[in-house]
């Protein structure tokens, strides 16, 4: 499969050949993509929620009511969950929400996410993402000319410093190095912008996996 390449000024810059197994999948597996998104969001969840349990509540340990003859239940502790100021029964604890997902499924999900963008005609290939000066106004004008208002821009191994500086104040525009390419960020932005260096990194990422297999 071939994709058209453009410059930041909107001019044609030739064609780029991409792997059909990564960008040309016809039958998009929404279930695999959903599993990957759930995996990513669960992994980044803080898990710092915590309520006081019985060992955490500071109350008197003296038996505050006689065992018999009160006409009520036989209580021995004020930190029980049925009392005001007592503990919470079976409340949330500090824990990790991360769960396992096979590497092959993660690779598959990324390929299907990329293919879904190509299928929706929401992929733009740039020859490079570089600026001489880190001017937000300049980059905004260039992106507007390309029709980009909500985009994820994937650069090469590193992000050009001036480009990153200019893009950080533009709403709904994210810039990541090729290693940061992930399913969740691909889906949350309308357009996926890939540089030629990013395409080479993606090809190495998937072909390297095939070679190891």
CATH number of 179's domain: 3.40.1370.10
Q: What distance in Å separates the CA atoms of residue 9 and residue 89, rounded to the nearest whole number?
A: 62
Q: What distance in Å separates the CA atoms of residue 67 and residue 89, rounded to the nearest whole number?
A: 24
pLDDT at 211 > cutoff 60: no
Chain centroid, CA 64 distance in Å: 53
Assigned token pair, 18: 């991409």
Q: Specify the pLDDT at position 22.
A: 95
Residue 59 lies in a domain: no
Residue 15 to residues 2, 85, 156, 195, Cα–Cα distance (Å): 6, 69, 18, 12
Residues 6+ apart with CB under 8 A from 105: 32, 35, 36
**Mean pLDDT value across residues 188-205:** 95
Its domain, for residue 130, covers 2-31+99-212
Residue 50 lies in a domain: no
Please report which confidence band the pLDDT of residue 159 belongs to, taking 50, 70 and 90 as the band edges: very high
Q: Specify the pLDDT at position 213.
A: 39
Residue 53 lies in a domain: no
Residue 48 lies in a domain: no
Residue 8 lies in a domain: yes
pLDDT at 19 > cutoff 80: yes
* The pTM of the whole model exceeds 0.85: no
Number of domains in the chain: 1
Residue 108 lies in a domain: yes
Residue 163 lies in a domain: yes
């Amino acid at each position: 499969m071939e994709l058209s390449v453009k410059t930041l000024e909107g001019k044609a810059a030739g064609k780029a050949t991409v792997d059909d197994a990564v960008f040309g999948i016809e039958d998009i597996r929404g279930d695999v993509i959903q599993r990957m998104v759930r995996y990513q969001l669960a992994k980044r969840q803080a898990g710092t929620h915590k309520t006081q349990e019985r060992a955490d509540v500071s109350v008197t340990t003296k038996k505050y009511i006689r065992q018999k003859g009160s006409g009520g239940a036989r209580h021995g502790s004020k930190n029980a969950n049925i009392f005001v100021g007592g503990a919470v029964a079976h409340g949330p604890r500090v824990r990790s929400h991360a769960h396992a997902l096979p590497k092959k499924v993660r690779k598959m999900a990324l390929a299907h996410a990329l293919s879904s963008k190509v299928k929706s005609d929401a992929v733009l290939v740039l020859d490079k993402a570089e600026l001489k000066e880190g001017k937000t106004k300049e980059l905004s004008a260039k992106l507007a000319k390309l029709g980009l208002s909500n985009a994820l821009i994937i650069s090469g191994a590193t992000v050009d410093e001036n480009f990153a500086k200019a893009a950080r104040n533009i709403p709904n525009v994210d810039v990541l190095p090729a290693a940061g390419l992930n399913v969740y960020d691909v889906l949350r932005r309308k357009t996926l912008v890939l540089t030629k260096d990013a395409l080479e990194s993606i090809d190495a990422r998937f072909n390297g996996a095939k070679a190891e297999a």
